Amino acid sequence: MAPTEVSAGLRILVVDDNQDAADSLVMLLEIHGSTARSAYSGVEGLDALDNFKPAVVFLDFMMPGMDGIETARQMRNLPGGQSLKLVALTASPKDDLEDNALNSPFDHHLTKPASFGSLCDLLWCKAECFKNLQTCRLLRLDVRAGSASFAS
């Protein structure tokens, strides 16, 4: 599946206090057919949900003020928040992610810098959810390996 097919039609919000990182990811996503917007804080990200209505949100895990975990929890509690695909983007060591995994509001975690292949795999899974819910239930995404595989 070509990258443009992967993300075409998806509305994606990128929330990161590093404006260059957020804007670069937005440009990459838009080049490949998504409608993407950036926000530079947790508060801005929450505000953008109401106006932009994304299907996928990439959240920086460690932002000043309201961090990614609190932002994700608040997003989950908003109307429609349970259906969002929330993805943590982090430069934190893998162990920090695993410590928070049990109580995590995130669907997936990607370590910065995330490879383009990992982003495509993640967005492909989301696109499949829209097309065929049964297929999405059968798919398991191994973000660390950067590939989608069938669940056993």
Answer whether the bond into residue 79 is a cis peptide, omega within 30°. Answer: no
- Give the CATH number of domain 3-117: 3.40.50.2300
pLDDT in tens, 118-148: 777 777 655 544 443 333 333 333 333 333 3
Q: At what angle do helices 68-77 and 42-52 cross, to 10 degrees?
A: 30
Predicted model pTM:
0.74
- For the chain, the domains span 3-117
pLDDT in tens, 13-60: 999 999 998 998 899 888 878 899 999 999 999 999 989 999 999 999
Residues 6 or more apart whose CB falls under 8 angstroms from that of 133 comprise: none
Confidence of residue 4 (pLDDT cuts 50, 70, 90): very low
9 vs 30: CA distance, rounded Å? 10
Higher pLDDT, 91 or 82: 82
Higher pLDDT, 4 or 53: 53
